[in-house]
Amino acid sequence: MVNEARFNFGERRATFKSGNGDAVADNMRATAFIGRELFSPVIRTETRYEFTDNINIVAGNHNFKFGGDAAL
């Protein structure tokens, strides 16, 4: 019997700044968007945690593997 447990932590930072922060924008509903970027600026940090636990059992000529994974 073998138990495998793992933990993973990841962090990603994303920053998108507008090239022209003084520009004017106009949104024509359901038709067009004119001007600077609609969703600028964006400053975001994504954090991810992952837990994995598996157990391997060898019984005669058979191998059984059970486990689970949770990503938060």
Residue with the larger pLDDT of the pair 57 and 19: 57
The pTM of this model reads 0.55
Interval 46-71 mean pLDDT:
96
> Contact, 68 vs 5, CB < 8 A?
no
pLDDT, tens digit, 9 for 90 and up, residues 9-49: 999 998 877 666 666 777 788 788 777 666 667 788 999 99
**Range of 19's domain?**
2-71
Identify any residues that bridge with 24 across adjacent strands, giving them in sequence order: none
pLDDT, tens digit, 9 for 90 and up, residues 2-11: 999 999 999 9
Specify the number of domains making up the chain.
Answer: 1
Identify any residues that bridge with 9 across adjacent strands, giving them in sequence order: 49
Identify any residues that bridge with 59 across adjacent strands, giving them in sequence order: 62
Identify any residues that bridge with 64 across adjacent strands, giving them in sequence order: 57
